[in-house]
Amino acid sequence: MSYVRNLSLMIILSGALAFAGCSSTTTPDKPEPSVAAATPAETKKKVDSGKTTESTTKAPPSSSLDALQRGESTATPASSPLKDVYFDFDRYDLRADSREILKANSAWLKANPSAQVQIEGHCDERGTTEYNVALGSRRAESVKDYLVTLGTPTDRLSTISYGEEVPVCRERTEECWQKNRRARFVVQPARPTT
């Protein structure tokens, strides 16, 4: 059973990586301040004509899968302007507290009209891999649909499901499972204009 589960995981992650490899990931010259605050920055030193100058460039946004592959936490940083929303067991309908969080996320999206966001759907470990991938997809889509009803253009939002495969918490408790039943937001790099 473990072999089948690991094989299923590899197939799902390979598909996600192949899909992610198809997108363009160019970094804008001047990111909006609030978008730059949502992701880590790197400082680079440049030597030009004997002078050393420092410049700050925006690091690529970190999806849950990217963080997992680097061995980092898959939790949304507290500094993120877009907050996670949580779901009840085996549900994808939005709770009242989730709707309030999404209203705040919508206000941020309106204030940052060039921001593109990927909504990740996540589940706890209960259920089959296939079921949880489908449930994570429904969770991400329900969040996207609600943001669209609040005025966010659909072309600024994309969804992906990681099912149970990228947990925030690995304990086998209800408190931990609740943390894993979520939709997470990742601000994407600006697309080049042509």
**Domains of the chain, first to last:** 35-188 (3.30.1330.60)
Dig out the tokens for 14 from the structure: 């390979």
Structure confidence at residue 193 (pLDDT): 61
Structure confidence at residue 66 (pLDDT): 85
Cross-strand bridge partners of residue 171: none
Write the DSSP string, the chain. -HHHHHHHHHHHHHHHHHHHTTS--PPPSS--HHHHHTS-EEEEEEEETTEEEEEEEEPPP--HHHHHHTT---SPPTT-SS--EE--TT--SPPHHHHHHHHHHHHHHHH-TT-EEEEEEE--S-S-HHHHHHHHHHHHHHHHHHHHHTT--GGGEEEEEEETSS-S--SSSHHHHHHHSEEEEEEEPPPPP-
Instruction: Give the pLDDT confidence of 40-97 residue by residue, as tens digits.
Output: 333 333 334 444 344 333 344 578 888 888 888 888 888 899 999 999 999 999 999 9
